[in-house]
Structure 1
Amino acid sequence: MENHKWTKPVCGGEIIGGHEAIPHSRPYMAFLWISVQNSESWFGDNFPFKTKTCGGFLIREDFVLTAAHCNGRAIWVTLGAHDISKQEWTQHVIPVKRAIPHPDYNDKTFANDIMLLQLHRKATLNPYVQTIRLPRKNHSVMPGKVCTVAGWGRLGVNAQTADKLQEVDLEVQNKDACLHLYILPFNNTLQICVGDPGTRKDSFMGDSGGPLVCHKVAEGINSFGKGDGTPPLVYTRISSYVPWIEKTMSQFKLQGPGGSARD
């Protein structure tokens, strides 16, 4: 077997080697604006908070699924967006009522990197805002499968973030492609290795939490990569967490009716 250099992981998200998505062709996509405590603020104690962004996807009218490392002190979810630099009439901005990271999430190893976000109220479903299906329990995405990821992350390692939703096709890899690549342990039961190392198609910083979509089913959650814009990447394997997702959502009733386009 080829020897691999151990690599420190970086949270995933940037779309490299892809293209702009057809506007609103992925109505399940969510853009997350997250307020986090900034212990190393450039502005001193007068500005103790900073922000970061992530991706996510709507799985019930009042629940978005994303990565656990996308947590923060406050989160706002934008649904129905294509160009996040504009206040499109299709957009709904809804604050998160409750962030529920997996109880076994490890912020050192990124194990169990999955989180449910309960919205303050349910979204109004329409052609621009839709839910996406989850896989069956323990369903496996086989190596060689070509799936799609999307997000508003950077277009290159040193490039700016994208205003318009980008997408790229990535091939699911054999576990060996990730097993010896990262300094962190790779668990094929709970994670998916994604992206042909012979290509420059990748996702990187800025849009963690976005879905790996295969045949209109969300199979994975963008978790981490090498940080240099080259594949493969590690995605959380959603099928292993379906019982937890269903049990957790069942504890909360649907929130009240959807609000106006910008709230």
Structure 2
Amino acid sequence: MDFETKYITPDIKLSEYTGKTFKTEVMFEHHMLVWFISGETKIILADATYTFNAHDTFLIPRHQLATVMNYPKDGLPHKTVAMHLTTERLKDFYARHKAVGKKVSHSKVYRFIKHPLLESCLASLIPYFDLGADLPTDIAAIKIEEAISILRSIDKSVDGLLADFEEPGKINLADFMERHFMFNMTMDKFGYLTGRSLATFRRDFKKTYHTTPQKWLTEKRLQLAHYQIAQQKRKPIDVYFEVGFENLSHFSHAFKNHFGYPPNTLLDR
């Protein structure tokens, strides 16, 4: 089995991956704090790309669209401890602690490279994963509260993220789509993140682009793939997922239908 996951609670897990490469697109419902034990992860956002290795710790904001690629490295599996900081738990925390600072952008990943406080907090969870029902029920809550307190102590701006409980409001559709078209999501998700119902999203999209979302998304993804293969000389197998296609065969078929030739021919030019 390539995957093994152990839980203390649904909000705290230890994941191990031993395959070659695992790729996925995610939008987290809650903020997620991750501590790397071994391996490597590449996280691609609309505006930035991050690479994390052993002993790095990072925080991914909720409602953040990301392409995630996980790799074993140096003969060791991809292994992480992840902690979900749920809105319910954060509301309880900030009901007892005053938030400091202003709201901050949700579009960045917070990086805490080899920070001893965070690393010791998350490393101390390792023995708990084998206890199962023998683990006291309040331990998980105590450890999550400890992690939140440490985050606040080492980054004064993090309150602006963690204490912001607003849901996505209606935003400029064109700006959002131009920045996020490569993320392979349902129309419902695109609508939600732009602050719209599905029907309103489709109506506003038609007014903006004079075509359907599906057709526009396919063309934008193919154009980006064409550029990366032709100009950056990247292989189709390294491109298709990052630009929003689920598998290589679908990508190759769509590419040939659109441009009249298969993507591999660009590498010979």
TM-score by length of 2: 0.25
Structure with the higher fraction of residues in helix conformation? 2
Higher RCO structure, 1 or 2 (CA under 8 Å, sep 6+): 1
Structure with the higher fraction of residues in strand conformation? 1
Q: Quick check: which has more Rg, 1 or 2?
A: 2
